[in-house]
Amino acid sequence: MVAPGTALLVLLLAALLALSARAQTQTQLQRWLAGCPSLCACDTQLRASCTGRRLYSIHAGVSSAAQALDLSNNSVASLEDRQLSRAGLTRLKYLNLSMNAISEIGLNAFDDLRNLTVLDLSMNRIDYIAPDTFYYNQKLQILHLAGNKFNLHVPSLHSVSLVTLDLSGCRINHLPKHTFQGLKQLRKLDLSSNAMTGLDKDVLRQMPFLQKLSLGRNNWICDESMYSLKLYTRSRNIETHPICNKSALTIKFEKISIGQEAGKGESRPSKKSSDSWDVDPWRKLEEAVQDQEQECEPTVPDPTSIFAFSNGVSPFWFLLIGFLLGSGATMVVTYLWLSTTISCLIPRIRRAGVTDSPDTSSQRVSLLRHLWQQENASGAGGSPSITTMTTTTTTTTTTTNILPICPGTPPPPYREVMLHRNLYPRAAIAAIAAAAAAVAAAATTTTTTTTTQPQRANTRILGIRTAGINGSSTATYNV
């Protein structure tokens, strides 16, 4: 009988060992996560994913503690002998090398991976695998080889632990009877999407534990051998998809047809004696004749075919195209309208800017006011000293007093004065007098200066005042 103290001591030791193991595991996980390479993603399950990194080698810097490694969708071209063990990846249980460019695999490439359980080599360029490549992988259960190019070189593998084998899409057209004799534990076999026309049931006899067989998407010839294969898979309860759904009566009729052809002793070449009467060529011939007849018949145009192109087009594109066309037309019309309007407005704005600017208008109004004030002052009887110019050709006399104008005020333009004489009477008279003086000066070389009294009868006097810097001077020209 164990003493209570001894039992308590054993329990304490067990608890200490558990705590120590847990602490050690946590330390390993921390080291694992800290040592994860930058090109990969790691998790706490000791899994590393390095997919799509354009790696040319399996040496990605993954720690030797990794148990699952995904190197799919890279550019690995070959697997040399013990290359994985030299990289320290001997603890791997799951290895994914699919979608690479692997074309060569060494005989001892996976020897040191004793815990390897799942291996994916699909979608590569492998055309040959040695039979003993996975002989030392005693725990390998799932092997994916789909999408390679084996053709006639189907690997005859030897593995005592392999359970699932995927050979789909490998361009296989024939399987020898001894192909799977080294896979005694195989339970699932995928041979779909190949180029096989027949399969001997003896190929399946080498796998006593086979449970599921995939044979879809092949070029099967439904002859007697395929019917025998169907009966064999049904007798062994092997799960498979139906391939040739012919009744026993059809098979019997095919046998009779074959016997009749053999009795006639025809010398024309034929296929193998085991081949059945295949109706597929006749069906293809009939379909070709029907297609030719349909092509010869006159075709009537379908009115709905005009809009057939729009069946697969989304309405969004029609709305978008209509919006773009409408926007473009609107922009063109708006541009034309604006260009026409602006081309008409620019001359008006220029003329208005010259004649109706605030400074010019104010100066003209000021000048006009001074002129009116000067006329009113002269009419009231003022008699300051003035300057006049007498012309001998006129019969009327006008006396005008010129008052000083605000310094710096420019005179109105000559064109404006001549066009609007009613607004600038004194300026217009001055302009006419200046023109007359210029003509007289050009005609004669002598000038006579006279000073007249205000309001001289029957004489038209035009006065021009010239403002100077130091004062004012008065001059009279006789024209």
3-state SS, one letter per residue, for the chain: CCCHHHHHHHHHHHHHHHHHHHHHHHHHHHHHHHCCCCCCEECCCCEEECCCCCCCCCCCCCCCCCCEEECCCCCCCEECCCHHHHCCCCCCCEEECCCCCCCEECCCCCCCCCCCCEEECCCCCCCCCCCCCCCCCCCCCEEECCCCCCCCCCCCCCCCCCCEEECCCCCCCCCCCCCCCCCCCCCEEECCCCCCCCCCCHHHHCCCCCCEEECCCCCCCCCHHHHHHHHHHHHCCCEECCCCCCCHHHHHHHHHHHHHHHHHCCCCCCCCCCCCCCCHHHHHHHHHHHHHHHHHCCCCCCHHHHHHHHHHCCHHHHHHHHHHHHHHHHHHHHHHHHHHHHHHHHHHHHHHHHHCCHHHHHHHHHHHHHHHHHHHHHHCCCCCCCCCEECCCCCCCCCCCCCCCCCCCCCCCHHHHHHCCCCCHHHHHHHHHHHHHHHHHHHCCCCCCCCCCCCCCCCCEECCEEECCCCEEECCCCC
Cross-strand pairs, 461: 390
Q: Nearest 5°: phi and psi at 125?
A: -120, 35
The pair phi, psi for residue 242, each rounded to 5°, is -65, 135
What angle is formed at CA 35 by the lines to CA 34 and CA 39, rounded to 5 degrees? 110
Q: What is the pLDDT along the chain (479 residues), one digit of tens a residue?
A: 556 667 777 777 777 777 767 777 778 788 888 889 999 999 988 999 999 999 999 998 999 889 999 999 999 999 999 999 999 999 999 999 999 999 999 999 999 999 999 999 999 999 999 999 999 999 999 999 999 999 888 999 999 999 999 999 999 999 999 999 999 999 999 999 999 999 999 999 999 999 999 999 999 998 888 889 999 999 999 999 888 865 544 545 555 655 555 555 444 444 333 334 444 555 555 566 566 556 555 444 454 544 544 555 677 788 888 889 999 999 999 998 888 888 878 777 776 665 555 555 555 555 545 554 554 454 444 443 333 333 333 333 344 444 444 555 566 676 776 777 676 666 667 667 777 777 777 776 444 444 444 444 344 433 333 333 333 333 333 33
Alpha carbons 187 and 25: distance in angstroms, whole number: 36
pLDDT for 27: 80
Domain residue spans in the chain?
A: 31-257, 317-349, 358-474
User: Which amino acid is present at 181?
Assistant: Q
Please state, in angstroms and rounded to a whole number, the distance separating the CA atoms of residues 304 and 462.
94
The CA-to-CA distance between both ends of the chain, in Å, stands at 162
Q: Are strands 68-70 and 94-96 parallel, antiparallel or unpaired?
A: parallel
| Distance from C-alpha of 238 to C-alpha of 44, rounded to nearest angstrom | 40
Fold entry, domain 31-257: 3.80.10
- The answer to whether residues 57 and 76 touch, using CB atoms and an 8 Å cutoff, is yes
Cα(402)–Cα(378) distance, integer angstroms: 9
Q: What is the pLDDT of residue 151?
A: 84
CA 294, CA 13: separation in Å to the nearest integer?
A: 90
